[in-house]
Structure 1
Amino acid sequence: MARMYRVLGFWTLAIGLMALAGDMVPMALIFFFQTALFVLLGYMNLSERTYILMFWGYMLISFTGFTYWSFFRMEL
């Protein structure tokens, strides 16, 4: 399970670099932060239950934030 967090770190790094190349700096910074967080968590050797609970928490926060942003903050 810890390896999957390193894989997530790799993909968020790739997305962050593409966002930076597309001149979307705030998005790139968010993904670089996520990359650092995922790689750090990948080397912590926590239990599988902890990794799963942390991933569910991450998904809850990210989906809530995405829904809030797309519903209340985006212009039509």
Structure 2
Amino acid sequence: MARMFRVLGFWTLVIGLMAFAGDMIEMALLFFMQTAVFVLLGYLKLSERTYILSFWAYMIICFTGFSYWTVFKMGMPF
């Protein structure tokens, strides 16, 4: 399970680098921070239950933030 967090760190790094190359600095910084968290979690040698709970917490926070941003910050198209 720890290896999966390192894989997530790798892919968030790739997405962050592509965002940085596309001059999307805020998005790149967000993904670089996620990369640091995922790689750190990948090397902590936690139990599998802790990894699963931390991933669920990450998913809930991200989906809540994404939903808030798309509904209240972006505005409705009509």
Q: Which category of TM-score, normalised to the shorter sequence, fits these structures?
A: over 0.9
Is residue 2 of structure 2 the alignment partner of residue 2 of structure 1? Answer: yes
Q: Report % sequence identity.
A: 74
Give the match for residue 30 of structure 2.
Answer: 30
Amino acid at match of 1:45: K
Give the match for residue 15 of structure 2.
Answer: 15
Q: If the length of structure 1 is used for normalisation, what is the TM-score?
A: 0.98
Segments of structure 1 that go 5 or more residues without pairing to the other structure are: none
Give the match for residue 44 of structure 1.
Answer: 44
Segments of structure 2 that go 5 or more residues without pairing to the other structure are: none
Give the C-alpha shift of residue 31 in structure 1. Answer: 0.2
Q: If the length of structure 2 is used for normalisation, what is the TM-score?
A: 0.95
In the alignment of these two chains, the number of paired residues is 76
Partners in 2 of 1:23 and 1:74 — Cα distance? Answer: 20
Runs of 4+ in 1 over 4 A off after TM superposition: none
Partners in 2 of 1:32 and 1:45 — Cα distance? Answer: 22
Q: Deviations over 1:22-67 (max 9, x none)?
A: 1000000000000000000000000000000000000000000000
Partners in 1 of 2:71 and 2:20 — Cα distance? Answer: 25
CA RMSD of aligned residues (A): 0.6
If you compute each CA radius of gyration, which structure gives the higher value, 1 or 2? 2
- Structure 1 residue matching 2:23: 3-state secondary structure: coil
